[in-house]
Structure 1
Amino acid sequence: MSERVAKVEVFSITIPRDTPYLGALREGETVNERGYVVRKGNRTVYPVVDRTVVVRVETTGGAVGWGETYGIVAPGAAMAIIDDLLGPFVVGRDPRDVCVIHDDLYDLMRVRGYAGGFYCDALAAIDIALWDICGKLANLPLVKLLGGQRHERLPAYISGLPKATRAERADFAAQWQAQGFDSFKFAAPVADDGVVAEMETLRARLGPSARIACDMHWVHGGEEAVALIKAMEPHGLWFAEAPVKPEDLDGLSLVASRVATPIAAGEEWRTVYDLVPRVARRACAIIQPEMGHKGITEFMRIGLYAQAHHLKLIPHATIGIGLFLAASLHASSALAAVECHEYQHSIFEPNRRLLVGDMDCREGLYSLPTGAGLGVEPSKEALELLHKH
């Protein structure tokens, strides 16, 4: 077989939203002329639309693979990296050498800021598309190429409660609980009355058996994070996510050593090299790989390294149109240590029309998409929304 990559194309997709991610704007939060808002609670920028970067790879034999990465801010950056740099180095390669291609592309910039940001995001999209092709050429679902399917269905947790008041957020969580979901995560930057009050209200509304986690969004110092987590613990905190800034490895280690609650981290990491020093410090108990930042090759390396060190995996999941969510579900289903998977309902549900395939999340469980490769493809509507910069 002489199948080779013939073409790599990259597009952005923009999807309007009724309510910005994380809910309505708080006092002092304004949208600038580029459509961005900085959340005061975590000093992080978000667009007021959904936006993603999609890659289409086609082989000489006509096989097509789809990949996706983050496009929520400055999508043109990742697109330029793919168009100008990575894509041309993929053309002519055998797509079944997907891990080799990944490492070759990573090495291109090893001495120039290789380890994060837009470069690795761009690489992730290409990696996902090549794995999709591998599955299609083999006529197998992606999970079968990753060692086999260990989970028939994956438990999902409700991520984010985008309502205006604490009582409304608790009621909103209870609505999901009535639909069969028993695990929840609230976002500290929009817990307007403080995380302890938020936790107390959610526990009272959802009952003793619900799992409730707090995403602390990287804003605290170590000692402050310890105090907040300890104050939430009497209400049964499932895990505390991102308690300190990503750079603060000492702080993360401190928090993990001083609280009973499992500490979760890893959304923003790009490679297994981000995990290694944190494992050495026992700085977190739960690893949260995000497929859109990592791609399948690095996601699996992170997952296997975490498993070898007896850590749990609860993957993060920003959605886009769902291509890299499908990749995340396949990879997660191949990893024994995955015990739950994030469900970004406020993106998945309104945007599910943009995919063709049977990927779903119902009654607290994800259904893995069936079919070859990712098992999902952009819908006709999504194809009409593709935009080249």
Structure 2
Amino acid sequence: MSDRIRSIEVFPLQIPRETPYLGPLEAGVVPSPRGYFVRPGNQTLYSIHDHSLLVKVTSEGGVVGWGESFGVVAPQVAATIIDELFAPLVIGRDPHDVVAISEDLYNGMRVRGFFGGFYVDAIAGVDMAIWDLRGKLTGLPVCKLLGAQRHSRLPVYVSGLPRATLPERAALARDWIDKGFGAVKFAAAVAHEGEVAEIQAIREAVGPGPKILADLHWRYTDQEAIQLITAMEPYGLYVAEAPVQSEDLEGQARVAAAVKTPIAIGEELRTVYEYRPRFVHRCMSIIQPEMAHMGITFFWQVCQMAQAFHCRVMPHATIGIGIAQAASMHVSAALQNFVMHEYQHSIFDRNLRFVTGTMRCQAGYFYLPEGPGLGVAPTDEVLQYVMGE
């Protein structure tokens, strides 16, 4: 008889940090009393803290699975959704029916049109935790449950150069290359001298070999993006990410057709329903699915659809303690269209102390955590950062 799900618990986290994500605050930017602020460069809400939401699923036999929902801001919202709506629908279910459970949760709000946002983020954490539980019950890592372990280590690109000035950011890029990494990505939102100046300085610092990616943060119209990407191409631009606003499918397709550089999109998307029209209209050649938005079930579905459209996969990595990161690595290890993974060094390295296991990043590679399920679990230390406690 299967070991059914007995309980679901949620733990919204707030972990202080000295320097906000993406670097120091711009002049005139003042955080709210709760620590939230908007980056002028991309008009996006951030926190001065690291936030996340841990999800714990326990079986009737006492076996525990862990997941992590997207919780960069207001993680209590997804926590409430899980407590109020999901728990009664999941408790008592067979964890080996995880795909059906995630689809049932999604369908539960379908007629209300709530096909994204905090609701699907909440599903992601529950889904991850149940997959982890399945692995613990079977003694298998998640990638094996998906049917393929193609890699034990995954190539990465260094994401973000959180320094105040352009010379400092270029020097930091060089530092990473000297450590054995082969690719870096800069953020347009904090490229205050302009993206062309940014890539020029980085290229001069790192030399001709390393790959340089640019995150354009949905800042431009299609014509502006085409001009900008074309201007950066002489400096060996490897990938241009999120060139136009997410809603502008036609603009995404025009940019992808007009430039030589591969276009990558998708970190803000959550389901095959959001990805499908972008595949059909050839809006990108690379997808960047975010595990904490999607969970393993939806992430896997999207990556299989990408294979059918001959798109490559370079997963996004958000703020978190590492549970979602481990899940993303397990799915990546099972993919034949995987290229490399985002490495959020300013988050991953400092928060790695909050998880157990062998997961690590060294000299340009993530190393897949060993053991059943996801191969990681929160330490007792991280629970001191549960909000409201």
The normalised TM-score by structure 2 is 0.98
The answer on 1:227 being equivalent to 2:230 is no
The answer on 1:165 being equivalent to 2:165 is yes
Q: What residue in structure 2 maps to residue 376 of structure 1? A: 376
Q: What residue in structure 1 maps to residue 68 of structure 2? A: 68
1:13-92 aligned within 5 A: 13-92=13-92
**Structure 2 CA distance for partners of 1:121 and 1:245, relative to 1, 3 Å:** same
Secondary structure of the 2:85 match is helix
Unaligned runs of 5+ in 2: none
Q: What residue in structure 1 maps to residue 198 of structure 2? A: 198
Q: Is the 8 A contact 2:142 2:374 kept in 1?
A: yes
**Structure 2 CA distance for partners of 1:33 and 1:386, relative to 1, 3 Å:** closer
The answer on 1:111 being equivalent to 2:122 is no
Letter in 1 for 2:37: V
- TM-superposed deviation, 1:291: 0.1
Q: What residue in structure 2 maps to residue 122 of structure 1? A: 122
Q: List per-residue Cα deviations over 1:311-346 (Å, max 9, x = no partner).
A: 110000014010000000000000011110000000
Q: Is the 8 A contact 2:50 2:319 kept in 1?
A: no
Secondary structure of the 1:23 match is coil
Q: What residue in structure 2 maps to residue 342 of structure 1? A: 342
Q: List per-residue Cα deviations over 1:38-64 (Å, max 9, x = no partner).
A: 100001010000010010010101110
- TM-superposed deviation, 1:33: 1.3
Q: Is the 8 A contact 2:72 2:319 kept in 1?
A: no
**Structure 2 CA distance for partners of 1:31 and 1:291, relative to 1, 3 Å:** same
Secondary structure of the 1:111 match is helix
Q: What residue in structure 2 maps to residue 245 of structure 1? A: 245
Secondary structure of the 2:176 match is helix
Whole-angstrom CA distance in 1 between matches of 2:301 and 2:367: 23
Q: List per-residue Cα deviations over 1:139-165 (Å, max 9, x = no partner).
A: 011110011111121001000000011
Q: List per-residue Cα deviations over 1:58-88 (Å, max 9, x = no partner).
A: 0101110001011121212111100000121
**Structure 2 CA distance for partners of 1:388 and 1:31, relative to 1, 3 Å:** closer
1:303-318 aligned within 5 A: 303-318=303-318
- TM-superposed deviation, 1:28: 2.3
Q: Is the 8 A contact 1:319 1:325 kept in 2?
A: no
Whole-angstrom CA distance in 2 between matches of 1:113 and 1:40: 30
Secondary structure of the 2:95 match is coil
Q: Is the 8 A contact 2:51 2:319 kept in 1?
A: no
Unaligned runs of 5+ in 1: none
Letter in 1 for 2:70: Y
Q: List per-residue Cα deviations over 1:21-50 (Å, max 9, x = no partner).
A: 010011222111121111000010100000
Letter in 2 for 1:298: F
Q: Is the 8 A contact 1:10 1:388 kept in 2?
A: no
Q: List per-residue Cα deviations over 1:294-320 (Å, max 9, x = no partner).
A: 000010011111011111100000140
1:93-108 aligned within 5 A: 93-108=93-108
Q: Is the 8 A contact 1:157 1:182 kept in 2?
A: yes
- TM-superposed deviation, 1:203: 0.6
Q: List per-residue Cα deviations over 1:204-228 (Å, max 9, x = no partner).
A: 1111111001000011111111111
Q: What residue in structure 2 maps to residue 283 of structure 1? A: 283
- TM-superposed deviation, 1:387: 4.2
1:144-223 aligned within 5 A: 144-223=144-223
Aligned residues: 389
Q: List per-residue Cα deviations over 1:105-143 (Å, max 9, x = no partner).
A: 110001113311000000000000000000000001111
The normalised TM-score by structure 1 is 0.98
Letter in 2 for 1:350: R
Whole-angstrom CA distance in 2 between matches of 1:384 and 1:377: 15
Percent identity reads 53
The answer on 1:299 being equivalent to 2:294 is no
Whole-angstrom CA distance in 1 between matches of 2:213 and 2:28: 27
Q: Is the 8 A contact 1:211 1:238 kept in 2?
A: yes
